[in-house]
Each structure stands twice: as C-alpha cells, then as structure tokens.
Amino acid sequence: MASTRDNEILTQVGPGTPMGELMRRYWLPAALSSELTADGDPMRLMLLGEQLIAFRDTNGRVGVMDHRCPHRCASLFFGRNEEGGIRCVYHGWKFDADGNCTDMANVPPHQDFKHKVHAKAYKTAERNGVIWVYMGDQAKMPDGIPGLPEIEALMLPADAMEFNFSQRECNWLQALEGDIDTSHTDFLHGGARTERAFAADDPRRYGALNRSPEYEIVETDWGVMYGAYRPGGPNQIYWRVAHFLYPFWTITPSGKFGNHYYARAWVPMDDTHTMAMRVLIKSGRPVSTGAVQNLDQVQPRTTDWYGRWKPMTTAQNDYLIDRQWQRNGSYSGLPGIAPEDQAVTESMGAITDREFEHLAPSDRMITMTRRRLFAAATGLAKGETPPANSGTVYAGARGGYFLASDALKLRAAYDAQMAEDPEQKKSA
C-alpha cells in the first residue's frame, strides 16, 4: 500500500516532479531510427509529459525539441524539414537539430537577432537502430557510451538485435510492475497448462506443478533482483530470476538463463501513457521462443501524440477476449501474452490507486522496487547522485530460469550461473 502522496511521487513524470527529474538523468529510448528519414516528415513525440517533435535533417542528424516555435509558439510539427533544419511555416524561422535559430526569414538583416534565440532541444544519440534522448542537464549526463545503458541485450552486435515497440494506456509504473510480478505467469499466461505441457527435462514444468513460489529479494547496484524458487527435483531448486534496473528497465525470466539476452524499457510518455521497448535476439539466434512470441499487432499509425505503436487489443474491444475459449481451452481467453499483460495492467485504471491494494508476500519484489524508486527520486531532490548513473553499472544483470543445488541461496546460485560460461555474450 502506498499513500496518495507517495503514489504521486512514484507515478508523476512531468517537469519539476521528483520522478520526472530522476527520469531526466538517464538516456531514454524514444523511437526506431527507421521512423525518421532525412528531410522527411517531422514526428510528434511525447516523452515525460512533454510535447516534442523529432526530425532527421539533410545530413542525417536527429533533432528532438519542444514542438513550439520560440517565436510565436506555432507547432513545428507543421514545419518544413529542409536544407539542414526545420523551418516554421508561420514566419519562416528555422532551427537546426541542436535548436539553434539559423534564419529569421521575416526579419530584415539589420534587425536579426537569431544568435539570441534557441529552441528547447535535447541531446540525441543513435545506437543499433534506436534513437535515444537525454532530457536533463547535459553537464550531468551518465558516464559511459552516450545513449546506451550497458545492459547485456543492448551490447549485442547490431545484426543480432531486434526491437519491438508497443504502447500502454496506463501509468509507467504499473506497466513495469507487471514484468517483475513472476507469480502471475502460471496463472494469467499458463493457467491452463499442466506438467504434461513440458518435456520431462524442461524445468518450467515445476511452475505448473507448484504455482505459489517463495522469494528471495536482493538489492543490487543496478536496482533489485528477485528469485522465485520452488522444489525442482531431488536436492534441487527451480529458480526464476529477474531484475528491475533503474530507472524503468526490466529483465524477465522468460527464457533459459544461459542464452536469455533480453530487456524491456517502460518509458513514460506522460502520467497515463507508456511506451514499452523490448529488445530481443533476432530469430535464428539461440534464444528461448518465450521471449519472442506474441509480438504486439499494432493499429495503423496516426500523427497525433499517441498515434504510434498502439495495439489492436484495446479496452474498447475488451482486448478481444473470447469467453468460449476461456471456458474450454484458455485460462484467460485473451489472444496471447502481450494482450494478457496489457488487459490486466490497463484494467487497473490510468494510474493505480495503491491505497486500495492488499499486497502479499508474493509482491515483495514490487514493494522493494517502489521503495528504491521512491528513495532515488526523493534523494535526487535533496542533491544525491542518481543510482546506476554509469552505463557500466548494468553489467552482470541477466534473467532466466535454471535448476541449482538446494544448498545455495539466490546470490550464490545466480553467481554460479553467471560464471558458468563467461564467454557466452561473445558467441551468442
């Protein structure tokens, strides 16, 4: 349970809010590189409650800036993307990708003061087909590779990676919490499965046999790690290990630990809309199919603030639930893993009323993650350094499932798995 005020601190992301200021101290994945073409159409982009435009200039540089022209506040979405910058169609003022005013077309040369005018623009970087944006003080950017938290999945060769974007119509935190809530897996996603659904040597069958795991929670430099554990045969424990990584990343246990390179960012568009970016190993690479199945089907793209990557399943069509199938074959009746997660998290409301909750021992990971986020946001407001503010902090975070000796606690079991094949990232 969280008080109304604490919930506001955790969920509000606009300029000047504690969590919004924390988010602005990290690089945000904002769009696919393929969404912008040189001298192509500007794109509306909503990030952290700010209405922005994104464009690629003649030389391929990406600009991300406030959509309002600094002259008279007309939207630069209607601007002309031409000859190295974007020109406002209202009076012809032009701005480059850094926000510098390069031309005041309606002002006589002797009255020109373009060197004093600057559009509110943010630092951008492109890595492996993704456009990243840093919305905070540039003097306080995280150490490491610009635009790239050094999470294992993001460090793979570019030709090994693929990305999947999908929008959620709810607050970022409740969307993220769905990823770190492992006990729902054998209900929402696998409630109709029995042990017979798995091969005799597949450890996932222990989840079908025992749907109420116990937990160990470990605080880490990058955030929080949990291990959900159950008996896994003689003298063995079946572990499902996953992570929360600051400020909005998750690594889920949806694949076999040794080759499960996966991460998802839950990027706040505003307080009630979230853009999820999932990074996977491309088909044909050694990765569990559980990580790549059920990629979201999306609606036709529109140009409004929320017009990108919207799933076909919506509250208006009840997420395409099939009640007959629910009664006779599927536990949820919903058409796949992504719609299942979408339906339950959006059904909580735009922003969950956390005073209404009754948390259980199975929610320890959620409780600890909220606690650490709250401490980070309020600590920043007091002048503390944001946690995990160096890209290299994320090294060593991997999720997945595995069997281990029942003599080992979580951290020892996890470290043993990580040490088993230290060259795997190079050979994946």
Q: Please, which residues bridge with residue 219 across strands?
A: 224
- CATH for the stretch 27-140: 2.102.10.10
Tell me which amino acid residue 175 is. Answer: A
**pLDDT for position 284:** 52
Instruction: Please give the CATH superfamily to which domain 152-427 belongs.
Output: Naphthalene 1,2-dioxygenase Alpha Subunit; Chain A, domain 1 (3.90.380.10)
Mean of pLDDT values over 383-411: 91
pLDDT higher than threshold 70 for residue 419? yes
Confidence grade of residue 370 (pLDDT, cut at 50, 70, 90): very high
CB proximity list for 291: less than 8 A, separation 6 or greater: 254, 255, 260, 262, 280, 281
pLDDT higher than threshold 80 for residue 142? yes
pLDDT higher than threshold 50 for residue 141? yes
Q: Residues of CATH 3.90.380.10 domain(s) within the chain?
A: 152-427
**pLDDT for position 345:** 97
**pLDDT for position 292:** 32
Q: Rounded to the nearest 5°, which phi and psi values hold at 416?
A: -65, -40
What phi-psi label fits residue 131: left (phi over 0), alpha (psi between -120 and 50 degrees) or beta? beta
**pLDDT for position 212:** 85
pLDDT higher than threshold 70 for residue 200? yes
| Rounded CA Rg of the chain | 23
pLDDT higher than threshold 70 for residue 334? yes
Tell me which amino acid residue 357 is. Answer: E
**pLDDT for position 1:** 64
Q: Rounded to the nearest 5°, which phi and psi values hold at 348?
A: -75, -10
Residue 413's Cβ-side half-sphere holds a number of Cα atoms within 13 Å equal to 26
Q: Rounded to the nearest 5°, which phi and psi values hold at 214?
A: -100, 170
Q: Residues of CATH 2.102.10.10 domain(s) within the chain?
A: 27-140
DSSP 384: P
Q: Tokens 């101290």 appear where?
A: 25
CA 407 and chain centroid, separation: 35
pLDDT higher than threshold 80 for residue 295? no
Mean of pLDDT values over 347-358: 94
DSSP 261: -
The candidate with the shortest Cα–Cα distance to 232, out of 198, 185, 259, 261, is 198
pLDDT higher than threshold 80 for residue 86? yes
Mean of pLDDT values over 167-187: 93
Mean of pLDDT values over 268-294: 69
Q: Tokens 């004093």 appear where?
A: 116
Total Cβ atoms within 10 A of residue 234: 6
**pLDDT for position 210:** 80
Tell me which amino acid residue 263 is. Answer: A
pLDDT higher than threshold 50 for residue 290? no
Confidence grade of residue 97 (pLDDT, cut at 50, 70, 90): very high
Instruction: Let me know: does 403 contact 238? Beta carbons within 8 Å.
Output: yes
